[in-house]
């Protein structure tokens, strides 16, 4: 079995809160995770769930109260491992007196790419993230989205084997989001493992092979998206056109909801049972023609809301982990 790209073992972090009477606040509670090399993994959860705490622990920006973690099969903090990973912090801020080009050249230098090699790398990556002539402007003149692009470029300056992005889509416009999605897929295609945290479930659905959901510092679910969402079709969406108004069936046990999309064009939400074939046959007999028939599956968002808002995340964690883990 190959070495996981990332593994945490009962990783726990307590912070002290309060001014006079300090009391511990558990930001992350016994997180055990394993990410296989080459996969795109999403760390999801609402605000305060412990996503950024997890990533900061992995980057050793903070130290665990208990538990441990490994990156690329080695303990945290080894320089040989740091050379093989990239990290984008949440809402990144860089030295605003530097230009984008200087910043990337500086960071390239820390990886040992000095002189021309560092500058070439910096230039190539700035091209890749869409920073053009602005690369010679000081970063204090950059917008949030442009800083995010620079942040992504600096995270991959060393051609890492493992990249950790904390909210990579934050502050990006739709074009920027599209570019980052493409970049993540490119990284995956060349064998790089990508771990990213996000609030945007659509990004996770589009990119991740597996996700973990955190809430209140605890892992409440982890597994492949197909495990989480498969076989959870909860009905059908049937779209037909060319139907006479009088032939439209009445909403009831066979049809949950009817939406008129346009003249003679309707969308029907059907329950899982009975199968939709009978209704389709009746509509076709009435002169309608079929536009589409799709299963209505539980989305990641439905799953997320259902589980994150549950009153007792501990019991859910047990239940989901028991179901989804091999």
Partner 1 sequence: MKATAQIAINVFRESVRDKVLYNLVLFAILLIGASYLLGQLTAGQDVKIIKDLGLSATSLFGVFIAVFIGIGLVSKEVERRSIYALLPKPIYRYQLVLGKYVGLLLTLAINVAVMAVALYAVLLYVSSGVPEIVRRGWDAPALDPALLKAIGLILVELMLITAIALFFSTFSTPILSAAFTFGLFIAGHFSADLRNFDQVVDSPSAVRLARGLYWVLPNLAQFDVKAQVVHGQPVSLGYMALASGYAALYIAMLLAVAMYVFSRRDFK
Would you tell me which residues interact with partner 1 (CB under 8 A)? 15, 56, 59-63, 79, 82-83, 85, 87-89, 91-95, 97-98, 102, 106-107, 109-112, 114, 151, 154
Picking from 172, 149, 166, 159, the residue whose alpha carbon sits closest to that of residue 94 is 149
- CB nearer partner 1, residue 157 or residue 255: 157
- Exposure string for 288-310, b = 16+ CB within 10 A, e = fewer: beeeeeeebeeebeebbeebbee
- CB nearer partner 1, residue 65 or residue 324: 65
- CB nearer partner 1, residue 78 or residue 306: 78
- CB nearer partner 1, residue 64 or residue 223: 64
DSSP string, 119-176: HHHHHHHHHHTT--GGGGSBGGG--HHHHHHHHHHHHTTT--SEEEEESTTTT--HHH
CB of 145 to partner 1, least distance (A): 17
User: Alpha-carbon distance 257 to 250, whole Å?
Assistant: 9
- CB nearer partner 1, residue 63 or residue 306: 63
- CB nearer partner 1, residue 5 or residue 270: 5
What pairs with residue 138 in β-bridges? 99
CB contact set of 251 (below 8 Å; sequence gap of 6+): 257, 258
CB of 110 to partner 1, least distance (A): 4
The two three-digit tokens of residue 179, written as one number: 């570019």
User: Alpha-carbon distance 5 to 294, whole Å?
Assistant: 37
- CB nearer partner 1, residue 3 or residue 63: 63
CB of 160 to partner 1, least distance (A): 10
CB of 157 to partner 1, least distance (A): 9
User: Alpha-carbon distance 201 to 197, whole Å?
Assistant: 10
Q: Is the peptide bond before 274 cis (omega within 30 degrees of 0)?
A: yes
Inter-residue contact 153 to 168 (CB < 8 Å): no
User: Alpha-carbon distance 224 to 324, whole Å?
Assistant: 8
CB of 17 to partner 1, least distance (A): 11
User: Alpha-carbon distance 274 to 233, whole Å?
Assistant: 14
CB of 208 to partner 1, least distance (A): 22
CB of 225 to partner 1, least distance (A): 28
């Amino acid at each position: 079995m190959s070495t996981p790209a990332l593994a945490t073992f009962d990783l726990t972090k307590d912070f002290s809160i309060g001014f006079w009477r300090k009391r511990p606040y558990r930001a992350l509670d016994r997180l055990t995770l394993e990410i296989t090399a080459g996969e795109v993994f999403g760390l999801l959860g609402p605000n305060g769930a412990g996503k950024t705490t997890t990533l900061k622990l992995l980057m050793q920006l903070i130290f665990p109260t208990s538990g441990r973690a490994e990156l690329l099969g080695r303990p945290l903090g080894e320089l040989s491992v740091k050379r093989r990973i990239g990290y984008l912090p949440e809402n990144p801020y860089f030295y605003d007196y530097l230009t984008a080009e200087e910043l990337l050249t500086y960071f390239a230098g820390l990886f040992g790419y000095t002189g021309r090699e560092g500058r070439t790398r910096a230039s190539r990556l700035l091209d890749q993230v869409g920073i053009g002539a602005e690369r010679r402007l000081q970063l204090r003149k950059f917008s949030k989205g442009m800083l995010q692009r620079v942040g992504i470029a600096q995270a991959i300056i060393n051609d890492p084997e493992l990249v950790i992005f904390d909210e990579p889509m934050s502050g990006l416009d739709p074009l920027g989001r599209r570019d980052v999605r493409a970049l993540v897929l490119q990284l995956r295609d060349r064998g790089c493992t990508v771990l990213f945290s996000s609030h945007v479930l659509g990004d996770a659905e589009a990119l991740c092979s597996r996700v973990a959901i955190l809430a209140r510092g605890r892992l409440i679910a982890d597994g492949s998206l197909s495990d989480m969402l498969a076989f959870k079709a909860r009905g059908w969406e049937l779209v037909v056109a060319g139907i006479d108004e009088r032939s439209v069936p009445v909403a009831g046990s066979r049809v949950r909801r009817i939406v008129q999309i346009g003249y003679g064009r309707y969308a029907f939400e059907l329950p899982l049972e009975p199968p939709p074939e009978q209704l389709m046959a009746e509509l076709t007999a009435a002169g309608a023609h079929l536009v589409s028939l799709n299963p209505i599956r539980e989305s990641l968002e439905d799953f997320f809301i259902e589980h994150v808002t549950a009153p007792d995340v501990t019991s859910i964690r047990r239940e989901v982990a028991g179901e989804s883990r091999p």
